[in-house]
Amino acid sequence: MQVHATNRLNNIAFVPSPNFDERPAGCAISLLVIHNISLPPDEFGGDGVIELFTNSLDPEAHPYYRDIHGLKVSTHFFIRRDGETIQFVPCEKRAWHAGESHWKGKSCCNDFSIGIELEGSDTAPFTDIQYMALAALSRTLQNTYPITDIVGHSDIAPGRKTDPGPCFDWKRYRAALLVRDCA
Ligand SMILES: [Zn+2]
């Protein structure tokens, strides 16, 4: 994969989210934040996540949506169960995925991070192809930006967030980051 000048990645669908703004001037992108999300909760394959990030969630479509349909949130990338990857916000822009958060003495992790949402939950194992897509995307981002740390949402918002959750296999993911793509 290569990065376009617009920082949209090849082979990744781009669905624009209105929920972004500018990063602080001179702020390097140094952190990857891994999340999980599913809408409705624990249901996979529908359009709920896309609708949430594009402010088009129907509050009548599911009881849970009434609570969240007004949220203005986004992510840079969303990796579905089948590995399909959708980008919502250009990497150079600030997506709204981390909320109140801290990492290594700095607050507001949205300023200096890229958010990657895995379609999943805290109770279901992620799929093989999600790990492959996540590792490939992560390596591309590592080659493009001065990434120094990769963390879970729960690491930067402890007590408030639990994702990517106990089913996310960090050992497997970190090992996959070290495997080079076959030419
Ligand atoms: Zn999260």
In tens digits, the chain (183 residues) has pLDDT values of 444 434 456 679 999 999 999 999 999 999 999 999 999 999 999 999 999 999 999 999 999 999 998 999 999 999 999 999 999 999 999 999 999 999 999 999 999 999 999 999 999 999 999 999 999 999 999 999 999 999 999 999 999 999 999 999 999 999 999 986 554
Helices 128-144, 170-178: crossing angle, 10 deg rounding? 50
CA of 35 to the centre of ligand 1 (A): 4
User: For the chain, how big is the Rg over CA atoms in Å?
Assistant: 15
Question: What separation in Å is there between the alpha carbon of 182 and the centre of ligand 1?
Answer: 31
Written as six digits, the tokens of 115 are: 């958010």
Q: Distance from the CA of 163 to the center of ligand 1, in angstroms?
A: 5
| Cα–ligand 1 centroid distance for 61 (angstroms) | 22
Q: Which amino acid type is present at position 163?
A: D
- CA distances from residue 61 to 41, 48, 105, 124 in whole angstroms, order as listed: 13, 9, 41, 23
Strand 77-79 relative to strand 85-87, pairing: antiparallel
Residues with CB under 5 A from ligand 1 (ion): 35, 153, 163
- Provide the annotated active-site residues: 117
pTM of the full predicted structure? 0.93
| Gap from CA of 93 to ligand 1 centroid (Å) | 18
